[in-house]
Structure 1
Amino acid sequence: MGNSGSAPSPDPAIGQAALASAELGRDYLGWAEDQAKITNKWAADDRARYTSTFVPLENDYIANAQAGPDYGKVAGDVTRSEATVANRAALAAGQQERQLQAQGVMPGSGRSIDGTRKTALATELATAGAGNAQRVASRTQAEAKNDSEMANAINLGKGLAVNPATSMGLSNGSTASGFSGAMQGYGQQGNLLNTQYQQQMSSYQANQANQSSLFGGLGSLAGMAFSLSSKDAKENKRPVRGVLDVVKKMPVEKWKYKDGMADGGEHIGPYAEDFQRETGLGDGKRINIMDAVGVTMGAVKELSDKMDRVEKRLPTRSVRSTKKAMA
């Protein structure tokens, strides 16, 4: 017999906080997914533009670099260099001839012919030297340009599709952050609800312990029940019959509360289900102390009345023997 009690109602703010945390996580995930759609669009646009516009240019550039140095301009550069030297030599020869004439040297003289021959030889040597120098310089320039183009082609390959990759990284990062926020929200919800459950269990167990302490003995129970047993506190009074038969139909056994239930100790008493069935009182889970005491006292009274009637039917000697035996 005992009152198992019930856990107090939890603070609704705990559930509200847990729900708000989960909803915030879902909202964050939705926002992150929207951001991912934007950055994925950027990645798709960048990739399409890169493929349609820059890939053909890069292919041409790489092909030209792989073809090797372009020596097509070397011959023209050599010709122009040689022409420049020849022009300068012709100017120098004309000036020399005018100087000789000014000195009275005739054009057909040996001195004039020898000077012309020397000038022509020097001009050929200078022209040849200038052409060779220009040829070397032009080829070196073409080869340097080709080396630079090859380096650029290699760098193009290293930087291939950088923008799309960056956009995809932003997208994946945003989505991952959103999922992390959602999981944290649900995790926080679980922690809050678990805290709420632990608080309920602690309150429930404390309530059970208090009830076991308060209602541990029959004397204490009766004392508490009788504190409100004045006639002035009661109405709708009427006699009760047959409680002795009620008590006889209810099994009274020794039993122990299950672990975690009430005080967990051993007791002697009836069961709430039987008490409700025979008396119509209680909820089948608990036995009200006032009702239990009332049924017990009513049964004792009926039993006493029954003994009085038996005594009246017995001879005096037998009654004395029965009382002596009962004493």
Structure 2
Amino acid sequence: MDKSSSEAPSPDPKIGEAALKQAQTGEDWLGFAKDSLAVSTARQADLDALTKQVTQQQMGIANDQAAWAKSDRERYDTVFKPVEDKFVAEASAYGSEAHQNEAAAEAKADVQNNAAGRARLPIAMQLPWASTRRRAGMPASIARAKWARRLRRPALKTPRAPTIETRASR
């Protein structure tokens, strides 16, 4: 192909008209953008004020929560941790020989105190009513009353829970 044989096409007769329309479209778009910017700037001022208010409120709440967390943690460290540590120490030492000896001494003292308390009862009432009650499965007050009748003595008064019969008889 020879370069000299091709000629440039002739310009479109409406090229000037198209350029004017394109310039007008650009000016219209610029006007629209300016109007939109003015509207959004007014809106943005309101939104900026609201955003600032919400942010300050949230920061205040976050600061309060941080202070509360610090206070709660401080209380946990000073009040509850020592109690927990003491509990763990007691639980860890529970099976120690010293604790077993202490528990044995306490049990021995309980048995001696119980025996001393029974010694104050009349001889006939020290054991029989208790063993009868265990065998019969009856409350202690009924067993004492039965033994008191046998001995012709008044029964020891003990409070007892109301039964169906006593409620019905009221």
Q: What TM-score does the superposition give when structure 1 sets the normalisation length?
A: 0.24
Greater Rg, structure 1 or structure 2? 1
Q: What TM-score does the superposition give when structure 2 sets the normalisation length?
A: 0.43
Which one scores higher on RCO, CA 8 angstroms, separation ≥ 6?
Answer: 1
